[in-house]
Amino acid sequence: AQKITQTQPGMFVQEKEAVTLDCTYDTSDPSYGLFWYKQPSSGEMIFLIYQGSYDQQNATEGRYSLNFQKARKSANLVISASQLGDSAMYFCAMREQYNFNKFYFGSGTKLNVKP
Amino acid sequence: DVKVTQSSRYLVKRTGEKVFLECVQDMDHENMFWYRQDPGLGLRLIYFSYDVKMKEKGDIPEGYSVSREKKERFSLILESASTNQTSMYLCASSLRQGRNTEAFFGQGTRLTVV
């Protein structure tokens, strides 16, 4: 079974609008972490935001927030006030504590921000 | 500045060659990973190491092997390169314990097998 599922291969958003990128995950480990990474066309992987399975509040980092719904096993990334520089691939990832903190990644979502 | 360094940015190899991809990290991380990135498939885990000389197969280990003789270095070996191994290869490292233990990535190696 897929550990991480990203169902949106590509998305468009108008500059200055908010956008939500979907991510669902599958684990039986009670202790896990969820991550989002950005990969611009240059290829580097940039860490954006982290959510722990025991965190009570949704994580936020500047314009990024994580909509964590534990019962639904979803961890959607919300980008507010989109900028042209947000155009990139976005990957959702999960780390399971019982599994040596091994990282699993989804297939990614290509976000295009339109001027 | 933390760093994961991959030995080559671009490589072109011939079918049947033995190929070594090297990765070095300077953060004293226990965990190191090799991923393969293909369009539409995301990052797929090839091999994982949680300590020196320790390794675990990931989701797509066939045709690959790894070596971790020192904590800072993790090598991916293509025993006999084939054209279907043409891809982007990403190395990453992370702490094994801890709460917010993100993975740090190298710049990637784009391998073309002809």
pLDDT digits (tens, 9 = 90+) for A34-63: 999 999 999 999 999 999 999 999 999 999
Contact B92 A103 (CB under 8 A): yes
Return the higher-pLDDT residue of A19 and A103: A19
Best interface-test mutation with B: which of A26, A92, A105, A107 has the largest number of B CBs within 10 A? A105
Cα–Cα nearest to B48, from B59, B32, B29, B30: B32
Query: Taking 70 as the threshold, does the pLDDT of residue A4 lie above it?
Result: yes
CB-nearest partner of B105 from A9, A45, A101: A45
pLDDT score recorded for residue B47: 96
Residues of chain B scoring pLDDT < 50: none
Write the CB contacts of B37 (distance below 8 Å, at least 6 apart in sequence).
B43, B44, B87, B88, B89, B90, B108
Task: Give the lowest-confidence range in A92-96, A98-102, B27-31.
Answer: A98-102
Give CA separation, B82 vs B38, B59, B85, B88, B102, in Å.
Answer: 15, 18, 6, 14, 32
The reply to whether residue A33 touches residue B48, judged by beta carbons under 8 angstroms, is no
Q: What is the pLDDT of residue B81?
A: 97
